[in-house]
Amino acid sequence: MNNLDDLLSQPLAKISNNDFTQQVIKRINNYYRWRSVVLKSLSVILLVLFLALSSPIIWLSQLGKVTDFLSLKLAYFSQFNFTLIFQQISQQPLIAIAILISLLSLFAFLEE
């Protein structure tokens, strides 16, 4: 039993890894940098698309429709119907773009 304890207590021999660890860390950092750039550029593209397609008058009328819809649905929360919400969002692409911008901004913020 002492022989096993002696073997386990000796330090391990050095193994050369040809900078494997540094290469892996560099690849991980490059991946996260690339992901951050993609998320931020997607959110900027969607924001520009949103601004190009909408005018303040259209946006305010759409916002009024959404608030009316949500206030009606939240009053009857026990009968909440997600398919109806998705249908409303799909009929109003500006709201879908705004939701996508919000989600992308949230993910980009969480990356940092």
Alpha carbon distances (Å) from 45 to 11, 75, 110, 112: 55, 36, 19, 20
**pLDDT tens-digit map of 21-44:** 889 999 999 998 998 888 888 888
pLDDT at 109 over 90: no
Residue type, 24: V
- pLDDT at position 59: 66
Residue scoring higher pLDDT (60 or 37):
37
Q: Is 12 left (phi over 0), alpha (psi -120 to 50) or beta?
A: beta
pLDDT tens digit sequence for 2-21: 788 888 888 888 888 888 88
Measured CA to CA, the distance from residue 52 to residue 19 in angstroms comes to 49
